[in-house]
Amino acid sequence: MGTPDFAVTSLDALVQANFDVVAVVTAPDKPAGRGQKLNESAVKKYAVEKGIPVLQPEKLKNPEFIEELRSYQADLQVVVAFRMLPEIVWNMPAKGTINLHGSLLPQYRGAAPINHAIINGEKESGVTTFFLKQEIDTGDIILSDSVPIADDETAGELHDKLMVVGAKLLVKTLLAIEANNITEQPQPQNDDLKHAPKIFKEDCKIDWNSPAQTIHNLIRGLSPYPTAFTSLNEKTLKVFKAEIEDKEPGIVAGGFLTDGKTYLKFAAKDGFIKLLDIQYEGKKRMLIEDFLRGMRL
């Protein structure tokens, strides 16, 4: 059960490891683009290519879907980047339903663990497999694996790293379940856990009164999507990559300096954020030098 590219890598790993994938459950096709052509999920495209039956329910409690899902008599269900499941679905297989989550649980439960780990300036992230329970991301942990986060690493780069590490961990987890060789670890229920809620547009706006490191982490944590942004000449300026420089005196937070050719840097509370890779409203994504070449500031 999954939808985006992140889930495809795991699905492919299960196929390559010769597990019998009897069916795939993914999101319904959605109209996209100017022509509103129906767009298939990455998981569906892969499954069709491999000849795996595909289920695309609008509602996961639909009796026809439940009946069809039950007909496959799966021993185990695997969830990677999918919707929250009702109990009638996750409780169906004899060996339960497991989930691959993009964080070191119990930290960063929620929809956007990769983004929030970088936004919060973490030096380490990872993936965890666990059995699904009623409350989201709270089931007993089976296995986990950690990866370091570099100082300039973006959410997109960490995503791609965890996609591969997660697929390997998933295969390892299924082999352990198959051999009945797992020790489940209950998740601690602390009040001081860090969470990873869904990110909305207002969360992406840069506050130039914040410390430079906080802004740099926000830019990295939202790159390449949904992308941190500010305004310039009353138009939206998305920032995909930047670096920190020491602040020069006399520049107020939100003010900027440029030579009109090679650099554009905004003043934060305690330093400059030098923009490197941006997208100006109405234009394509480009390096700052290319942007300045055709722009008068």
The domain limits of the chain are 5-178, 201-293
Would you state the pLDDT for residue 36? 72
CATH number corresponding to 5-178: 3.40.50.170
pLDDT tens digits for 165-185?
999 999 999 999 999 999 999
**14-47 pLDDT tens trace:** 999 999 999 999 999 988 777 778 899 999 999 9
DSSP the chain: -B-SHHHHHHHHHHHHTT-----EE-PPPEEETTTTEEE--HHHHHHHHHT--EE--SSTT-HHHHHHHHHT--S-EEEES-PPPPHHHHT-STT-EEEEESS-TTTTBSS-HHHHHHHTT-SEEEEEEEE--SSTT-SPEEEEEEEE--TT--HHHHHHHHHHHHHHHHHHHHHHHHTT----BPPP--SS--B-PPP-GGGGB--TTS-HHHHHHHHHHTTTTT-EEEEETTEEEEEEEEEEEPPPTT--TT-EEE-SSS-EEEE-SSSEEEEEEEEETTS-EEEHHHHHHT---
Enter the pTM of the model: 0.93
Token pair listed for 152: 């300039």
As a whole number, the mean pLDDT across the chain is 95
Q: How far apart are CA 159 and CA 115, in angstroms?
A: 9
What pLDDT is attached to residue 194? 95
* pLDDT of residue 237 exceeding 80: yes
Write down the pLDDT at residue 294.
81
Q: Give pLDDT, residue 295.
A: 82
Structure tokens given for 232: 């310039």
| Positive/negative CA dihedral, 65, 70, 71, 73 | positive
CATH topology of domain 201-293: Methionyl-tRNA Fmet Formyltransferase; Chain A, domain 2 (3.10.25)
| The pLDDT of residue 265 | 96
What pLDDT, on the 0 to 100 scale, is given for residue 182?
Answer: 93
Lowest mean pLDDT among 107-111, 143-147, 203-207: 107-111
- Domains 5-178 and 201-293 fall in the same CATH topology: no
pLDDT at 79: 98
Question: pLDDT-derived band of residue 296, with 50, 70 and 90 as boundaries?
Answer: confident
Percent of the chain whose predicted confidence (pLDDT) is above 90: 89
Whether 191 shows a pLDDT value over 80: the answer reads no
